[in-house]
Structure 1
Amino acid sequence: MKQFEMFQMRRIKAVAEQLYEKKGGFKRWELVRISGIRKDYENKLNAFIDEIVVVYNC
């Protein structure tokens, strides 16, 4: 895994934690949009993003 992808994963997780604290839950599109993930990297990180959404919205 590339360093840049690892950074984006950390950023996604940090934004997920913030959204969870603020709202108690969030939608996938909100996480991607606020994280600032570009479409090409969103496609590469689909499984990770889906996992984070499930973990924080249970």
Structure 2
Amino acid sequence: MNNSESMEKLIEDLIRKLARANVELYYLSQRVALLEKKASEDKPQAAASNRISFMTTKQN
């Protein structure tokens, strides 16, 4: 295998890995969106009250 073939194989491998990572990120983003939707349907005021308490709580 010459240098050109070796580089081509590395590039193809990187493209496959990047595609796999993109699919995983898409899946996770969809899952987060569904969980956020479910949480907001279960307790519509919970998210806002948590944000307010987080913003007003003094951190040491």
Answer yes or no: same fold by TM over 0.5.
no
Q: Which has the higher helix share?
A: 2
Name which one, 1 or 2, has greater alpha-carbon Rg. 2
TM-score by length of 2: 0.40
Tell me: higher relative CO, structure 1 or 2? Use CA pairs within 8 A at least 6 residues apart.
Answer: 1
